[in-house]
Amino acid sequence: MSRISEAKREETRKRIIEAASDLFSKYGFHNTQVMDIVKAVGMSAGTFYNYYKDKKDLFEQVIMQNFEVMRLKIKELRQPVNLSDREDRLKKTG
């Protein structure tokens, strides 16, 4: 597969995950239908199924992505703070 088409696939996957994440957080897993997700992304249901087996498969990807974001944030927060560096203290404490 060419770089362009691979980049396009990744962009589409990202759009699907973002829309699904938003809809799942607003309405919950059970109250969000695949058609709601594809409508939010602006694609056909057939295209959706080229990327994910079903809604549960997509939900698992959303959860994994959120865990990865949380893992990286925790890792960042666990880094020691240089108390003599004001910028570092402000960056780490918010």
CA–CA separation, 68 vs 17, rounded Å?
A: 14
pLDDT of residue 83: 78
pLDDT of residue 22: 97
Query: Is-contact 66 21, C-beta < 8 A?
Result: yes
CA–CA separation, 62 vs 55, rounded Å?
A: 10
Q: Which domains can be identified in the chain, with CATH numbers?
A: 3-93 (1.10.10.60)
Q: Is the entire prediction scored with pTM above 0.75?
A: yes
Q: What is the pLDDT along the chain (94 residues), one digit of tens a residue?
A: 577 798 999 999 999 999 999 999 999 999 999 999 999 999 999 999 999 999 999 999 999 999 999 999 999 888 887 778 788 777 766 6
Query: Is-contact 45 35, C-beta < 8 A?
Result: yes
